[in-house]
């Protein structure tokens, strides 16, 4: 069984919700509207897509938030495929990419998978020139490891909103892309089931 801590590591490696790309046949869907596009219990999006239903208030919308969401989708797609997609390393510093690698080991060793649909909401977003800090709340069942054969969650933790801090930075002055520089847990968020 995976502990809550290992599930959170999966979340960071599986904060995978941000962007898949490259040669992937699983095309990422971005939801940046005020409300998730599907119900929270529908963890099987159509067409094999990896989806991150990320609720973002208009005042928190930014290229940094979009870049985080794309990286999270790429991370999740990597875990589902059991191989690291190039977008995970391209869109993150070494630390966050290493978390995904560790989650990949857990997935392979325990025959786990992760849901294709992640659910979250941005609680705060501060963007200042080349740095940004995104406070996110992630619905735990949509980030938990699941047994691949049965589909059952590998954790016994009650569903809750996990608090996560995502630190973003611009990759260089020339291209100005946002990358995930660091991830850390925060206190759980308040809120009802999505």
Q: Is residue 20 part of a domain?
A: yes
Q: What is the pTM of this model?
A: 0.77
Q: Is residue 75 part of a domain?
A: yes
Nearest to 166 by CA among 193, 126, 130, 111: 126
pLDDT tens over the chain, length 194 residues: 444 333 333 444 344 333 322 333 333 333 333 333 333 344 455 567 889 999 999 999 999 999 999 999 999 999 999 999 999 999 999 999 999 999 999 999 999 999 999 999 999 999 998 999 999 999 999 999 999 999 899 998 999 999 999 999 997 766 789 999 999 999 999 999 99
CATH number, domain at 159?
3.10.450
Domain count, the chain: 1
Residue 184: beta bridge partners?
165
- Around 121, how many Cα atoms within 13 Å sit in the side-chain half-sphere? 19
Whole-number Å distance between alpha carbons of 130 and 174: 12
Q: How many CB atoms lie within 10 A of CB 185?
A: 15
Domain that holds residue 26: 4-34+47-189
Per-residue model confidence (pLDDT) at position 175: 79
Q: Is residue 194 part of a domain?
A: no
> Any idea which residue has 């208030």 for tokens?
57
Do the Cβ atoms of 123 and 165 come closer than 8 Å?
Answer: no
Per-residue model confidence (pLDDT) at position 173: 62
């Amino acid at each position: 069984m995976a502990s809550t801590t290992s599930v959170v590591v999966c979340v960071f490696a599986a904060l995978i919700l941000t962007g898949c790309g490259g040669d992937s046949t699983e095309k990422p869907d971005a939801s940046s509207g005020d409300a998730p596009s599907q119900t929270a219990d529908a963890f099987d999006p159509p067409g094999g897509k990896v989806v991150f239903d990320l609720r973002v208030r208009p005042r928190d919308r930014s290229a940094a938030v979009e870049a985080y969401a794309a990286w999270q989708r790429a991370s999740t797609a990597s875990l589902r495929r059991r191989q690291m997609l190039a977008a995970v390393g391209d869109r993150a510093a070494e630390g966050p990419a290493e978390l995904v690698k560790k989650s990949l080991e857990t997935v392979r060793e325990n025959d786990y998978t992760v849901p294709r649909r992640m659910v979250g909401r941005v609680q705060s977003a501060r963007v200042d020139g080349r740095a940004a800090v995104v406070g996110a709340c992630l619905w735990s069942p949509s980030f938990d490891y699941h047994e691949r054969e049965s589909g059952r969650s590998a954790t016994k933790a009650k569903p809750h909103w996990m608090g996560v801090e995502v630190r973003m930075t611009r990759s260089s002055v020339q291209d100005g892309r946002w990358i995930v520089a660091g991830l850390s847990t925060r206190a759980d968020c308040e809120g009802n089931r999505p």
